[in-house]
Structure 1
Amino acid sequence: MSVSQASTPLSHLLPPLILGGAGFSHQVYRNPNSAQALQVLKRAFQLGLRAIDTSAYYHPSEILLGEALSHPDITSLYSRDQYLLMTKVGRITATEFDYSPVWVRQSVMRSLERLHTRYLDVVFCHDVEFVPEEEVMGAIGVLLDMVREGYIKYVGISGYRIDILSRIARRVQIQYSRPLDIIQNWAQMTLQNDRLAREGLEAFHEAGVSCVCNSSPLAIGLLRANGVPVGDLGDFHPAPSGLRSAVKEAADYVAEQGESMAALALRHSIRRGQSLSTPDFRITTIMGITSIAELEDNLTTARQVLRVSDEPRWLWSADAGPSVEINMIRAREDAQLCAAVHDILGPWHDYSFPSPGDDWDVANKKPAAARL
């Protein structure tokens, strides 16, 4: 089955930085609200950060983002073609998935309505390792149909397990006679875990994928001084206590050197992604942001790694050319600190979280205990 692709490769559009919509969810923020989303988006757009990644699972992120994007403060200044919108289908709650063709289509249409848009730039199948691969392949087929219908421009998959992401990408290339446009992997091109670079990128590239999103550069808030984030749903972070303790020790050491663990980790991830990018194979970093202060801090940190012109560029865009480069001077300054962090992490360096873990029944898409 042959499926057409967008005329412009996504690698020519995707910027080096993307705003993560999970910051507007109950998982990582207490009382997410429309005022918060509007304020953050207005400032992000002013600074040139105009690519957004969210999910129906990050409730109520899509709703809040849609309200903000349709607000006169945004619509009076920015047309729809001046920003990118990416969302996901398939994951409904922490323990509920639906990859059926009917639900995938219904979820996309609901996302269009929630985000107040006629089309979505990218739609991912969310957390593919939690469901049987055949269901993922069927869902991708539905998304590719919706590309032909004009509802979606590009199609991808997201998840943690690099081996499963690679296998699905190869299957798509064979079954649909075209590659996936993009893959999103989380918390594995970080200061703590670099498996995406070592184990994923070559396999993704061989499967024809042109873009990779490295999300959670701080490993869902683990790599910072003040511990993992706790939202309205409590502490959901998968890091075991030993890893948390090692990161705390490393963060204390970094602070003693006059540096921020979060800033060091973000610079490391952005730098790693940009150093491995080419014009036709782009690695981009998704930053989780919950406030204007966090947004401005993150972009200040990013500017220490990327040379970006003072004038905000559309999307901090892929076509910024020579103005987007790795700052090698800062890279040398960070190298010694990163090496010290790795020494402190010891056996926790490159540790991967179990996903979905032995307590999950992939065949039945439910916790294993639910079978009893």
Structure 2
Amino acid sequence: MSLNLPHVTTNLEDISPLVIGGAIFNTQYNDDPFSMPIKDLLLHGFENGINAIDTSPYYGPSEELLGQCLNSLINDDKLITRENFYICTKVGRLQLDDFDYSASWVKKSIARSLERLHTKYLDVVYLHDIEFVEEEGIMEALRTLMQLKKDGYIRNVGISGYPVEFLYKIASLCVDQPDIGCLDLVLSYSNMCLQNIKLGDWYDRFMTNTHIKLLNNASILSMSLLRSQETKSFHPCSQELKNTVSSLSKVLLAEHNVELAELATRFAIREWKSKKGKTVLGVSTKSELESALVQYRLVLSGEMDELDAKLYELSKSILGEHFNETWASGIAGR
């Protein structure tokens, strides 16, 4: 029996406030992504109003795993249709230090993503982690993506990356670039979270000067930093920041009986929802997704606003000089 979900539109603003992130369906975060309950997770998300998925070829088997699960939900279980959700993926990043922004690779990668995700079109394609590539290469890749948009394979084109200033610079430059023009959207990560609110500080400039339709926020736990468990070894931030966040986590739990990840989730969702941006969630299980949905509902209810405001100020105080601290990323971050 179909879930009778509403059809999505071509309007990016109709993407749900929460988006299921596919970066976590990868060995970087999980030892065996092939055994993860992705289908159940997706179904739970759809049943609770989430209508968008974010992934990338760079995320190991993520595209293939998501494509298999979505195809099964559509064609085997007949619970959803392709018109019920947005697919967002990326192009250009191959490995940790391997990028290919050439026109030939962009076309090949998009064709592969269409096949992997069992779809005739992609709702969103971001040029992945642009700060690692020279501007000439970025513009070439964007021209190719815009042509693929004209050809109907892509509905919206954007850029993703870490350094907020560089994302803004490229989005601004595109406005007057022949064969590119205004981008549709921009995605940054770890820059609108309990430890770093830089993306929020730049929101008005993005929306006013680059004419994008949507500014999205990913990795609200800053790639595992903002939780009580140990931060993943690949995290590029300073050890001092890791130690400070660990201290914050212990204070919140011992003195206020609050889990850092839950506070951080509520904070990021609350702040970004007020700006009408979308929040990409990295969750490994249905229970983790439900936990995030509980925090989302608490934000909507306003029940935690007063306490969270006090805990936010406490967090800023403990973070001290590490609040809004960033790390170098790519050519643009040197």
TM-score, normalised to structure 1's length?
A: 0.83
Please give the alpha-carbon distance, in whole angstroms, between the structure 1 residues aligned to 2:206 and 2:185: 13
Structure 2 residue runs of 5 or longer lacking an equivalent are 1-8
Q: What is the RMSD computed on CA atoms of the aligned residues?
A: 1.8
Aligned to 1:312: none
Please give the alpha-carbon distance, in whole angstroms, between the structure 2 residues aligned to 1:210 and 1:60: 30
Residues 1:261 and 2:264 are matched in the alignment: no
Aligned to 1:93: 95
Deviation (angstroms), 1:299: 0.8
1:296 is aligned, of 286, 290, 301, to 290
Secondary structure, counterpart of 1:353 in structure 2: coil
Please give the alpha-carbon distance, in whole angstroms, between the structure 2 residues aligned to 1:213 and 1:227: 26
Q: Which amino acid aligns with 1:305?
A: V
Q: Which amino acid aligns with 2:319?
A: L
Contact residue 192 and residue 199 of structure 2 kept, 8 A:
yes
Question: After the TM superposition, which residues 62-211 of structure 1 pair with which residues of structure 2 at under 5 Å, given as runs?
Answer: 62-72=63-73, 76-175=78-177, 176=179, 178-211=181-214
Contact residue 34 and residue 64 of structure 1 kept, 8 A:
no
Secondary structure, counterpart of 1:22 in structure 2: coil
- 4+ residue runs over 4 A deviation: 72-75, 357-360
Contact residue 102 and residue 137 of structure 2 kept, 8 A:
yes
Query: Residue 88 and residue 210 in structure 1: after superposition, are their counterparts in 2 closer, same or farther (change >3 A)?
Result: same
Deviation (angstroms), 1:177: 6.5
Contact residue 17 and residue 50 of structure 2 kept, 8 A:
no
Query: Residue 190 and residue 85 in structure 1: after superposition, are their counterparts in 2 closer, same or farther (change >3 A)?
Result: same
Aligned to 1:246: 244
Contact residue 123 and residue 155 of structure 1 kept, 8 A:
yes
Deviation (angstroms), 1:140: 0.8
Structure 1 residue runs of 5 or longer lacking an equivalent are 1-6, 230-234, 278-282, 308-326, 361-372
Contact residue 69 and residue 75 of structure 1 kept, 8 A:
no
Contact residue 73 and residue 80 of structure 2 kept, 8 A:
no
Please give the alpha-carbon distance, in whole angstroms, between the structure 2 residues aligned to 1:177 and 1:110: 23
Aligned to 2:270: 271
| 1:163-207: CA deviation from partner (whole Å, max 9, x where unpaired) | 111111112111147311100000011100011111354234311
Deviation (angstroms), 1:72: 4.4
**94-103 or 196-205, which deviates more:** 196-205
TM-score, normalised to structure 2's length?
A: 0.92
Tell me which of the two structures has the higher relative contact order, counting C-alpha pairs closer than 8 angstroms and 6 or more residues apart: 1
Query: Residue 201 and residue 59 in structure 1: after superposition, are their counterparts in 2 closer, same or farther (change >3 A)?
Result: farther
Residues 1:226 and 2:229 are matched in the alignment: yes
Contact residue 86 and residue 122 of structure 1 kept, 8 A:
yes
Q: Which amino acid aligns with 2:225?
A: L
Percent identity (aligned)? 37
Deviation (angstroms), 1:123: 0.1
Contact residue 162 and residue 200 of structure 1 kept, 8 A:
no
Contact residue 251 and residue 260 of structure 1 kept, 8 A:
yes
Aligned to 2:4: none
Secondary structure, counterpart of 1:174 in structure 2: coil
Residues 1:36 and 2:40 are matched in the alignment: no
Contact residue 217 and residue 278 of structure 2 kept, 8 A:
yes
Aligned length: 323
Question: After the TM superposition, which residues 8-47 of structure 1 pair with which residues of structure 2 at under 5 Å, given as runs?
Answer: 8-11=10-13, 13-33=14-34, 36-47=37-48
Query: Residue 358 and residue 206 in structure 1: after superposition, are their counterparts in 2 closer, same or farther (change >3 A)?
Result: closer
Q: Which amino acid aligns with 1:56?
A: P
Please give the alpha-carbon distance, in whole angstroms, between the structure 1 residues aligned to 2:31 and 2:204: 35
Please give the alpha-carbon distance, in whole angstroms, between the structure 1 residues aligned to 2:332 and 2:191: 20
Deviation (angstroms), 1:290: 0.8
Q: Which amino acid aligns with 2:24?
A: G
Secondary structure, counterpart of 1:102 in structure 2: helix
